[in-house]
C-alpha cells in the first residue's frame, strides 16, 4: 500500500472513530447546563467577546447548537420544512438535509435540539416525527412517526422534547394511554419497551437519567406528574404530582446527592424529592415558587440553585437542601442559564447575554452584550464548547471566542 493512501485511510478511520465516540445533547454532557471549560474570560470587552463567525440562513427555530469534536449541528424551518444543518468549526456549511414537516403554528420554529450519539444524529419534530441520520453526511437511516405509531396526542404548542439516550436505548415521552413513554433501539428505531406511565399527555419536557448502583431511572414529566421509570424495562417505579395551569413542564430535572429537583412555570415553582437508595420511591422535602421558569432551566453551583422566574421579575438563587430563597435581582429579562469556569451565563428573552459571578448569596453582573443577529424569540439555550459560546437567535447562529488571550 502506498504511504499517502495508507495515511488517508488512517485519518479517515480516526475521524470515524472520534465521531462514533461523540455525544452532543441538550444542555451539555450531563444535561444540567454545566460545561467543564477552563481558561475563559472573566470580563468581556464593552461590546462582548469577539465574534468568530455567524450564519443567518437557519430559518425559524429555537434549537440550540449540538457540538461534537469537529462538527456543529442545529435545525431550522425553511418554507414549512425542518432541516438539519451541519457546520465545521470555521462556520462553513457542510450540509443541510430536510427531515419533514415542522411546526409553523403558534410560536413557529424547530423545538428540539439535535441529539448526536455513536455517529448518528436524531431529530424530533414538533409533529412527533423522529428521524435518525448519519452524523457525518446526513444520510437517512430510519424514521418513526411517534404520535401515529404509538397513539400519542400532540399538544397545544407542539412536541418539544430533547431526546435522551442511554447505551442501547433511546427514550421518548409519547404521551399516549398505552405507549406513554417508550424506549427504542437507536440503531433501528424498533420498540424495546413501553410504559403506560400515568396515561397523561406529554408536557414539553426533556427527561433526565438517574444512575444508581442498582438501576438507571428515567425521569420524565407528563401533564400532571413527575414519573420515575426503570430504564431497563419500562416499569413505573413511582410518580409525584406536579400540575400547573397549562400542563407545561419544559425544564430538565436534576438529580444530585440522592435528591431530585423539578421546576415548572406558571407559578408552580420547584419541588425537591428525596429518592430512596434503591430508586423505588420518592419523598417530598420542600417546595419553592420563586424560581418557576417555564423553559430556561437552572444550574446547581456550590449548593445553590440559580435561575429566573416566569414573570420576569427577578433571577434567584435558592439553597439546594432547604429551598430557602437566598437572593433575587432583576439582572436581565427572564431566560435560560448555563455555567462554566466559575461564571454564570444568562440569555434573557430581551436579547441580552450576561456574564455573572455567583457570590455567596447573590449574583454580580460583570459583562453583557445584545445579540446582533436573528429575529423573534430568544429561546434557544446557550452552549459552550472548547472556549466558544454558541448563541442561537431564530434564523441566526453566532459563535463567540471566550478564551483568554
pTM of the model: 0.94
Computed over every residue of the chain, the mean pLDDT equals: 94
The DSSP bridge pattern shows strands 169-173 and 164-166 to be antiparallel
**CB-based burial label for 383 (10 Å; 0-12, 13-18, 19+):** buried
pLDDT for position 21 = 52
Residue 248 to residues 159, 218, 223, 381, Cα–Cα distance (Å) = 11, 19, 7, 18
The predicted model gives 88-97 an average pLDDT of: 98
Query: Does the pLDDT value for residue 215 go beyond 70?
Result: yes
pLDDT at res. 378? 97
CA–CA dist 203, 225 (Å, integer): 9
pLDDT at residue 6, rounded to an integer: 47
pLDDT digits (tens, 9 = 90+) for 354-381: 999 998 878 899 999 999 999 999 999 9
Q: What is the third-level CATH fold of 20-401? A: Methylamine Dehydrogenase; Chain H (2.130.10)
pLDDT value of residue 312? 83
How many Cα atoms within 13 Å fall on the side-chain side of residue 396?
Answer: 17
Q: pLDDT grade, residue 405 (50/70/90)? A: confident
Residue 53: is it exposed, middle or buried by C-beta count within 10 angstroms (0-12/13-18/19+)?
middle
d(CA 75, CA 54): 15
Write out pLDDT tens, residues 110-130. 999 999 999 999 999 999 999
In this predicted model, what pLDDT tens digit does every residue of 301-339 receive, in sequence order? 999 999 999 988 899 999 999 999 999 999 999 999 999
The more confidently predicted of residues 401 and 16 is 401
Amino acid at each position: 500500500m502506498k504511504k499517502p493512501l495508507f495515511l488517508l485511510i488512517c485519518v479517515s478511520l480516526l475521524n470515524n472513530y472520534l465521531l462514533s465516540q461523540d455525544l452532543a445533547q441538550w444542555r451539555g454532557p450531563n444535561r444540567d447546563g454545566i460545561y467543564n471549560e477552563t481558561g475563559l474570560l472573566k470580563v468581556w470587552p464593552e461590546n462582548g467577546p469577539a465574534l468568530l463567525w455567524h450564519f443567518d440562513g437557519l430559518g425559524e427555530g429555537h434549537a440550540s447548537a449540538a457540538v461534537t469534536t469537529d462538527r456543529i449541528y442545529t435545525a431550522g424551518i425553511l418554507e414549512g420544512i425542518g432541516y438539519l444543518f451541519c457546520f465545521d468549526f470555521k462556520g462553513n456549511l457542510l450540509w443541510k438535509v430536510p427531515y419533514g414537516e415542522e411546526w409553523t403554528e403558534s410560536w413557529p420554529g424547530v423545538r428540539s435540539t439535535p441529539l448526536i450519539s455513536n455517529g448518528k444524529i436524531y431529530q424530533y419534530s414538533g409533529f412527533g416525527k423522529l428521524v435518525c441520520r448519519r452524523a457525518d453526511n446526513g444520510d437517512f437511516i430510519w424514521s418513526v412517526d411517534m404520535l401515529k405509531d404509538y397513539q400519542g396526542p400532540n399538544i397545544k404548542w407542539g412536541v418539544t422534547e430533547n431526546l435522551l439516550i442511554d447505551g442501547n436505548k433511546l427514550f421518548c415521552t409519547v404521551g399516549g394511554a398505552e405507549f406513554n413513554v417508550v424506549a427504542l433501539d437507536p440503531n433501528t428505531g424498533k420498540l424495546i419497551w413501553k410504559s403506560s406511565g400515568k396515561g397523561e399527555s406529554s408536557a414539553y419536557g426533556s427527561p433526565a437519567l438517574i444512575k444508581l448502583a442498582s438501576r438507571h431511572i428515567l425521569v420524565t414529566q407528563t401533564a400532571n406528574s413527575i414519573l420515575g421509570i426503570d430504564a431497563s424495562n419500562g416499569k413505573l417505579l413511582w410518580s409525584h404530582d406536579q400540575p400547573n395551569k397549562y400542563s407545561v413542564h419544559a425544564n430538565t430535572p436534576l438529580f444530585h446527592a440522592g435528591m431530585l429537583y423539578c421546576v415548572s412555570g406558571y407559578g408552580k415553582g420547584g419541588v425537591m424529592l428525596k429518592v430512596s437508595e434503591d430508586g423505588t420511591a420518592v419523598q417530598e422535602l420542600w417546595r419553592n415558587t420563586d424560581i418557576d421558569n417555564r423553559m430556561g432551566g437552572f444550574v446547581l453551583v456550590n449548593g445553590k440553585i440559580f435561575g429566573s422566574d416566569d414573570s420576569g421579575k427577578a433571577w434567584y438563587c435558592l439553597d439546594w437542601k432547604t429551598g430557602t430563597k437566598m437572593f433575587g435581582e432583576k439582572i436581565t429579562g427572564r431566560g435560560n442559564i448555563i455555567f462554566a469556569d466559575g461564571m454564570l451565563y444568562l440569555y434573557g428573552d430581551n436579547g441580552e447575554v450576561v456574564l455573572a459571578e455567583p457570590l455567596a448569596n447573590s449574583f454580580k453582573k460583570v459583562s453583557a452584550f445584545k445579540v446582533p443577529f436573528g429575529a423573534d424569540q430568544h429561546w434557544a439555550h446557550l452552549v459552550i464548547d472548547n472556549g466558544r459560546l454558541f448563541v442561537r437567535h431564530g434564523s441566526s447562529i453566532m459563535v463567540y471566542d471566550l478564551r483568554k488571550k
